[in-house]
Structure 1
């Protein structure tokens, strides 16, 4: 279903007129001093993640989370008759969020529902990866910046309409139309891709 300019899921896609763009004023956070994920500091600071078994599979976007821990919440109902169109990945606040693939930061955005968000386009500009409820961006993250798979782009949080007692990453994938608009696309279920079940 196309992503409208009004909120389509619990982390609003944020059409351009809905809120001001986030740029250099976005919260920039250093890597967390305390890491509950059990991953060593060197790998977090360098943005290095464990390699996936299948190169075509997207990297899990939350450091320290395994595929077995994911839950498919793509079709879950949300307020106002909305469908989630994404999955939520629960993790402690401050856990590093990683780029799922190579690409470009298309938009840094602050929205009422999604809070601090980042839109990444794949190199072919056919897919958008949407990361929402971030506590903040990693230092140096900026629009039009090239990203490498596994690079730390931000930190799990509870901004926007997320429950402060349940920090998580709201992660979505949208197939872009010919207009290549960051706020508009057709939702694709990320769960099979992140689990390595994509055909």
Structure 2
């Protein structure tokens, strides 16, 4: 599948008659909220784990030197905590462009921190997109992140802002925090 998913996403869901829909954010959508929303609430989704396995050719890297950003992988028993936004469907005109580098919109059940539930949408970069980098040792991921930068800034900024945001949410993400430790360790040596 092409890394540019804008048109694919626009054909995936029909928003006719829908006034608002929930969107689950687990990466930069937690801390870079540059879109209008009607409501924001901490939430989680079951059976998914956050991983730095997606290449970023358009925001945190370049086609020649891609950065690494998060996607979700299926993992039984996992819990991915993030932020849910209730948005107007027209927000996806912007978000489909922002998340175009391999991400597809999928439906997902979400659980809010108060125990209530809702269905929403989530962007996931699957292994069949051209920008997918896949698994690598955490020190190697940290080294790639340390060396990458793109139009949205240094890839390290993405990692550090995400790690800080996850701590504020009291989210447990050993993968993200291990890469952060590797990055900080390499910066101090």
Q: TM-score, normalised by structure 2?
A: 0.31
| Larger radius of gyration between Structure 1 and Structure 2 | 2
Higher strand share: 2
Higher helix share: 2
